[in-house]
Amino acid sequence: MADSITHTVASQLSGVQSTTVDRKNCALDAVRKCVADEGEGPVSLGAHMGTDKSYPSRVLNGESNLSVWFILKLPIPVKKRLAKFWFEYLGGVGEYPDTDEKTALRHQVMALQLELKMAKAELVARQVEKVG
């Protein structure tokens, strides 16, 4: 299952600067792709978030953790693109509906919660393998 998830994400994130795409980096790679697709960069993100460019740069380069605060502070077009990505990643059928910011954020949170549950289940499975 993990291989199919990794393959699906890798195919959806083609063109992302990261050389490997795994579940650990999936959310960050998705954010990177959506930011790039919208033509945003550290300077414009920093201005939008009310910080200097170093904070978005550190997050996008993986030097700082990707936080919910960071995602909430992304420009609306990036959040909408990210919500569409998660819709497709989670197997949504048809076209992602053009939606408002609140719905897009709710979809992102649901996708991130699912990722967390999957990572937790994988960790438990590894611990069971060690014991057994």
Could you tell me how many residues make up the chain? 132
**What's the pLDDT score for residue 14?**
47
**What's the pLDDT score for residue 37?**
93
**What's the pLDDT score for residue 47?**
93
Which residue type sits at 52? D
Contacts of 21 (CB under 8 A, 6+ apart): 6, 9, 10, 13, 29
Contacts of 63 (CB under 8 A, 6+ apart): none
**What's the pLDDT score for residue 9?**
46
Helix (H/G/I), strand (E/B), else coil: 46: helix
**What's the pLDDT score for residue 61?**
93
Q: For residues 88 and 66, what is the distance between their CA atoms, to the nearest angstrom? A: 21
Residues of the chain with pLDDT under 70: 1-24, 92-99, 132
Q: For residues 49 and 73, what is the distance between their CA atoms, to the nearest angstrom? A: 6
Q: Are 12 and 88 in contact (CB under 8 A)?
A: yes
**What's the pLDDT score for residue 100?**
74
Q: If you ran DSSP here, which 8-state letter would residue 70 be given?
A: H
